[in-house]
Chains A and B, each alone.
Chain A
């Protein structure tokens, strides 16, 4: 009786396993990508195009740049690391999780203020974010790259009093790049400090107010590199080459990412590019 039950369960579980798994694809070539959410819409399009062109199956894990780096480290697998900005790529290079010589810059990002469509609170610049009663959010600077950019801008431009007023207006931190956009779209805050491209991710509900050139500290970029966990370095490098090709750049351009330093500088002025920023402890309460 027990044996029959055990046998039936085994047959059932095996059948379920085969139904759930695409066994045909076991022998296919695959790539596993860990991608920061800052480039989700164009990265998805680029991946589809790569699959169509090469027949290689690409599996993508999206998330915060630091979160997907943790996943890659703990899983000890993955072929490509494709974070949302340079900060986590620097960490990955320093700790030996990517091959530094394979790093390439895909596109450039410029921090900006994002407000609700129509700008109902008439926000014209950074100083408006300290007005009493303003509801502001930034991404969590401890783990989300655009949050670190926001803190860097505040630290550089605000006086002690303005910083205090700004902190009073912060309703909370968001846990990802995409959520930073969502809270404006859902009208839960009046403004966020995000990326200029956010407006093109959700043009019906969000618009971008550019910062003044002297307010922006750094221009960000989205890098890509081959993971040291890869077993398919040649194929991974082929994917990196594909991502920086003109064909893929045109996809990013469609979403208004800056495809060169010059384009970004034309929008905001000449700035240092990339690098890392150590967020002061008062912003993370560590």
Chain B
């Protein structure tokens, strides 16, 4: 019992650590500026941009992550170890470095060709999605692989012995059993994409009403030594992020780590 209480105490410590940081923002909070900033066309555009880019990046990440995670979890093939290690790249390399890598890629002949004949990424909306995708795809794959690793392979073996094709056993056995893990991975991926800053600003720039996401707006506000506006934008980002995540969890009818 004492041990459980101790663990609960640690959970509250974590909560108060972050809650304390949020409360401390009130020191520079100006109520009159809040409504002005929130209902400003520029802020509204940034909010829309942030949410839509994070959602698209998350969906693309999941499309890549689910089959990749399945391959890494269930199959044995040459180079598996290297691929598995490479997934950690976004965690090893800072987001700003990832953004710089993208910018350097697009200045190379291959990247230039791609931009001229395909999609314009640098300083454009697709650049935001690409930056968020690059920083989240590895993490999404890692999270979903962890969920699939928990499911014993014998279930698929049974399905195969009953005549199911590999695709059918994946769709009817593995995918439903790892559904909760995939949803948890999607939520974390979305949250990371929403808050992504370093890679986004490096490849997409910081122009208001074009590529200024909320994290970039926060940075530019601080760059303008406008601390009060910075605080309000942080509140807006926290509001969107926590609101959407909490809402999703409520909709799913689950508590945060109760993914039974």
- Physical interaction between A and B: yes
For window 236-286 of A, CB contacts with B under 8 Å fall at 284-286
Given contacts A172-B204, A284-B208, contact A188 B107 (CB under 8 A): yes
B42 at the interface (CB under 8 A from A): yes
User: Nearest Cβ distance between residue A189 and chain B, in whole angstroms?
Assistant: 8
The majority secondary structure among interface residues of chain A is mixed
Q: Which residue of A lies closest to B2 (CB)?
A: A2
User: Nearest Cβ distance between residue B150 and chain A, in whole angstroms?
Assistant: 27
Which of A2, A64, A73 has its CB near the most chain B CB atoms (within 10 A)?
A64
Give bound CA distance, A140 to B201, whole Å.
Answer: 12
Given contacts A64-B223, A66-B223, contact A285 B211 (CB under 8 A): no
**Do A285 and B41 touch across chains, with their CB atoms under 8 A apart?**
yes
Q: For residue A69, which residues in chain B have a CB less than 8 angstroms away from its CB?
A: 225
For window 65-92 of A, CB contacts with B under 8 Å fall at 66-67, 69-70, 73-74, 88, 91
Contact partner, B42, options A64, A171, A286, Cβ 8 Å = A286
**Do B227 and A70 touch across chains, with their CB atoms under 8 A apart?**
yes
B170 at the interface (CB under 8 A from A): no
Give bound CA distance, A170 to B221, whole Å.
Answer: 21
**Do A140 and B227 touch across chains, with their CB atoms under 8 A apart?**
no
Q: Which residue of B lies closest to A185 (CB)?
A: B107
Q: For residue B42, which residues in chain A have a CB less than 8 angstroms away from its CB?
A: 285-286
**Do A140 and B123 touch across chains, with their CB atoms under 8 A apart?**
no
Given contacts A171-B123, A186-B103, contact A70 B205 (CB under 8 A): no
**Do A137 and B220 touch across chains, with their CB atoms under 8 A apart?**
no
Q: For residue A67, which residues in chain B have a CB less than 8 angstroms away from its CB?
A: 219, 222-223, 225
**Do B208 and A175 touch across chains, with their CB atoms under 8 A apart?**
no
Contact residue range for chain B? 20 to 34
Given contacts A186-B104, A188-B103, contact A172 B227 (CB under 8 A): no
Given contacts A188-B106, A285-B41, contact A172 B205 (CB under 8 A): yes
Given contacts A187-B107, A188-B107, A188-B123, contact A70 B223 (CB under 8 A): yes
User: Nearest Cβ distance between residue A87 and chain B, in whole angstroms?
Assistant: 10
A142 at the interface (CB under 8 A from B): yes
User: Nearest Cβ distance between residue A228 and chain B, in whole angstroms?
Assistant: 15
B209 at the interface (CB under 8 A from A): yes
**Do A175 and B205 touch across chains, with their CB atoms under 8 A apart?**
yes
Q: For residue A170, which residues in chain B have a CB less than 8 angstroms away from its CB?
A: 207
The majority secondary structure among interface residues of chain B is helix
Give bound CA distance, A142 to B123, whole Å.
Answer: 17
B206 at the interface (CB under 8 A from A): yes
Contact residue range for chain A? 20 to 34
Contact partner, A66, options B112, B124, B209, B225, Cβ 8 Å = B225
Q: Which residue of A lies closest to B202 (CB)?
A: A179
Give bound CA distance, A170 to B103, whole Å.
Answer: 18
A39 at the interface (CB under 8 A from B): no
A199 at the interface (CB under 8 A from B): no
Given contacts A188-B122, A285-B41, A286-B42, contact A175 B201 (CB under 8 A): yes
**Do B219 and A175 touch across chains, with their CB atoms under 8 A apart?**
yes
**Do A186 and B207 touch across chains, with their CB atoms under 8 A apart?**
no
User: Nearest Cβ distance between residue B53 and chain A, in whole angstroms?
Assistant: 15
For window 39-82 of B, CB contacts with A under 8 Å fall at 40-42
Q: For residue B3, which residues in chain A have a CB less than 8 angstroms away from its CB?
A: 2
Given contacts A64-B223, A171-B123, A175-B216, 12 further A-B contacts (CB under 8 A): A66-B222, A69-B225, A70-B227, A143-B221, A172-B123, A172-B124, A173-B206, A175-B201, A175-B220, A188-B106, A188-B107, A188-B122
A-B CB proximity, top 10 nearest: A143-B223, A172-B205, A172-B123, A186-B107, A285-B208, A67-B223, A143-B224, A171-B123, A173-B207, A285-B42
Instruction: Identify 28 residue pairs between A and B in the complex whose beta-carbon atoms are under 8 Å apart, listed by A's number.
Output: A2-B3, A64-B223, A66-B223, A66-B224, A66-B225, A67-B225, A70-B223, A70-B227, A70-B230, A91-B225, A137-B205, A140-B223, A142-B208, A142-B224, A143-B221, A171-B124, A172-B123, A172-B205, A172-B206, A172-B207, A172-B211, A173-B205, A175-B223, A188-B106, A188-B107, A285-B42, A285-B209, A286-B40
